[in-house]
Amino acid sequence: MNKNILKYIVPIIAVLVVVESVILIARLTGNNTADNQTVQTKVTEPTANVPDQVSKNLGQPVFEVVIDTPISTWKAGEAQKVVIKLNSLEERALDALSVFVKYDSGKFEVDNITYDVKLPKPITLKASAKTNLVVGNFMVAESGGLKLSKGDSLALLQFDIVPKEAGEFTFELSTSQDSKESATMFVETMTSKELAYSGNKLTVSVTQ
């Protein structure tokens, strides 16, 4: 009798386990879908590798902005160099070059900001602890603007930076999605239009 009961119980429990497993998997999938929908409706952060100017229908990038450093592993307390380069992908002339690089003024000290000799004297050139931005704002007074050929490269900004503590940190351009007033922008001569660019995100690891 006992043996007969066991013969029935085992398959019944096995079926229950299978059913529960199916329910579990179905619910997990459902939750994931709901979460994804939530993320999609939320305003998403700008991703440095996907230039926001493309999303603003400015067309294909005319410039590539590269935030670079010789080594990606830094040591706290030791000065490092960061350079923001502009690589021209087409022949263009510029009236204005406004560069805003986000950094954490609580974690870094920025000093010795310089700019390419081809650029005019900047209206603003500073690291602003108030806004956590390194700012370089250049207006070109020459009537023809600053002419750039395809393949030309400019060191828009270069600065020394001293990390205060260990950790992993990123540097990226401030765009119009971050702030209307602090949007990195390249304005074409004569048309006065913003030109599309792509930008990267520099991630560095700081050790003690």
Residues that bind another protein (CB under 8 A): 2-3, 6-7, 9-10, 13-14, 16-17, 20-21, 23-24, 27-28, 31, 34-35, 38-39, 42-43, 45, 53, 56-59, 95-98, 123-124, 126, 128, 130-131, 133, 135, 137, 139, 141, 143, 177-183, 185-194, 196
CB of 160 to another protein, least distance (A): 19
Strands 124-128 and 133-139: antiparallel
Closer to another protein by Cβ: residue 57 or 208? 57
CB of 163 to another protein, least distance (A): 22
Could you tell me the CA-to-CA distances from 10 to 2, 14, 16, 19, 21 in Å, in that order?
Answer: 12, 6, 10, 14, 16
Structure tokens at 201: 């995100």
Closer to another protein by Cβ: residue 68 or 167? 167
**Rounded Cα distance, 146 and 153, in Å:** 12
What kind and span of H or E run contains 81? strand 80-88
CB of 70 to another protein, least distance (A): 27
CB of 96 to another protein, least distance (A): 3
- Length, in residues, of the chain: 208
Closer to another protein by Cβ: residue 64 or 188? 188
**Rounded Cα distance, 204 and 39, in Å:** 27
Closer to another protein by Cβ: residue 35 or 165? 35
Closer to another protein by Cβ: residue 9 or 71? 9
Closer to another protein by Cβ: residue 128 or 158? 128
**Rounded Cα distance, 119 and 77, in Å:** 31
Q: Do residues 156 and 115 make contact, with C-beta atoms less than 8 angstroms apart?
A: yes
Sequence-distant (6+) residues with CB within 8 A of 194 are 53, 58, 185, 186, 187, 188
CB of 85 to another protein, least distance (A): 19
CB of 51 to another protein, least distance (A): 13
Q: Cα 162–125–188 angle (5° rounding)?
A: 125
